[in-house]
Amino acid sequence: MGKKPKQVVVLPCSGIGKTFGALARETAYELVERVRPGLATLTCLPLLVINDPEAVALVTENPVITIDGCPKDCAKKSVEAVGGRVAKAYEAIKFYKEHKDLKPEGIAEVNDTGRKLAQVAAAEVAREVDKLAAGEGE
């Protein structure tokens, strides 16, 4: 059992122009705004890319969950590049593979079906947030 963190970082990739990138972002917003507000927190991926000290501190001092939009794993690799350790890495397509009735569409933002899938995904990711917040899995 590790030390209990105050926050768990949920970091989606930028995912510009990709439906599963939009799904990754929507899932992270759902977690931070509605499912685990105050516990799950976000940062902006490009801040890590430019080595912003606050963003780097956030991902090196707290457990991190990444959600990527494709196998290039930009969010996961960006955390690792600044010395952070990713406690759990998701690819957003996994959520669709497990819920084929919820096909997301859209690239700037997902459609209503995509938002429903993001809610289902956020509920799953929230279980990992809770474990990490309890000091498990560190």
- The tokens 């309890």 sit on which residue? 134
Q: Give dist(CA 136, CA 4) in Å, integer.
A: 8
- From the CB of 107, what's the least distance to ligand SF4, in Å? 10
Q: Give dist(CA 74, CA 49) in Å, integer.
A: 10
Secondary structure (3-state) at 99: coil
- What value, to the nearest 5°, has the Cα angle with vertex 100 and ends 95 and 103? 85
Nearer to ligand SF4, 9 or 133 (CB): 9
Q: Stretches 11-19, 51-59, 101-109, 119-127: which one binds ligand SF4 (CB under 6 A)?
A: 11-19
Q: Give dist(CA 131, CA 55) in Å, integer.
A: 23
Q: Stretches 33-41, 65-73, 79-87, 106-114: which one binds ligand SF4 (CB under 6 A)?
A: 65-73
**Cβ–Cβ under 8 Å, residues 41 and 8:** yes
For position 21 contacting ligand SF4 by CB under 6 A, the verdict is yes
For position 114 contacting ligand SF4 by CB under 6 A, the verdict is no
For position 15 contacting ligand SF4 by CB under 6 A, the verdict is yes
- From the CB of 39, what's the least distance to ligand SF4, in Å? 24
Site size for ligand SF4, by CB under 6 A? Answer: 11
| Binding residues for ligand SF4 (CB under 6 A) | 13-15, 18, 21, 68-70, 72-74
